[in-house]
Amino acid sequence: MKNNDFDILFEEVLNEFEKAVVKVKTSTHFEPCSGEEMVRKLEKDAHTAITDYQKCRIQPYKHAYRERTVEEYISSMKSQAMWTGTPGKLLECAFVSHKWGISQYRQGRKAEGRKHVLMALNLINMWNGACWALEMVEFKEESNKLKREAASLGGKRKSQKYRPVKDEVIRLLKKNKPEDGWKSKAAAINSLEEEISKFIELDFHKNSDWTSWDKLYRTISDWSRNDIELKNAFADVVKR
């Protein structure tokens, strides 16, 4: 490639970086700080980091050594972002790399400049990807929460719907209880068949769950184990 082609490439990468910065400015991941405020801070911090580096004052993250190049400095921040799961560090890397790349390019170190603006673009895109992944996780968690709430609400509505039937089962168990009680739970449930079936035909004729006595029998049997009121009612009338 000719030099002017490399210059065009450099400008194109800078343009892509600026497009990515627009996404950062509109992001809501920095609350209570706005995206634009965060970009200004990142630009200022990047300038400070490079100035300190050039003056040999930088010693990031309490390491016992000073990185020999800005690339190593950026790499150490990127590693911290990956290890600690803090995408914000990727943005810090990106802005430092971007500012350093422009500086190097203007000083005639064009290959170094292109390398660092490409690194900057990669890092800011990594941040966008990480934020997208976090949003997907949050969306899934919210979706699961809504599903749980809907299931809970559905369960409550179903419970309310079946309340009259449960009350009738309890009433019939007490009404029809033999003097010495039933010998088994199965006998107690079977004693309900005629009367509870008529009750359901009158008030629950559209309930597809109970199209046969076998299905209703299983439902009452489940209630006798899982519903505290029905469980107590059966305990009162079944004497083994």
Of 116, 118, 95, 114, nearest to 45 by C-alpha is 95
Domain boundaries, the chain: 3-132, 153-237
Taking the chain (240 residues) in runs of 10, the rounded mean pLDDT of each run is: 69 89 82 84 86 64 52 79 78 89 88 89 84 66 67 59 86 88 89 86 60 84 90 87
CA dihedral 102, 105, 109, 114 (to 10 degrees): 80
In the block, tokens 């949050």 appear at 138
222 Rama class: left (phi>0) / alpha (psi -120 to 50) / beta: alpha
With H, G, I as helix, E, B as strand and everything else as coil, classify residue 91. Answer: helix
> What pLDDT does residue 63 have?
41
Strand, helix or coil for residue 182? strand
User: 78 CB contacts (<8 Å, ≥6 apart)?
Assistant: 89, 90, 93, 123
Q: Is 7 in contact with 112 (CB distance < 8 Å)?
A: no
d(CA 44, CA 21): 14
Judge if pTM exceeds 0.85.
no
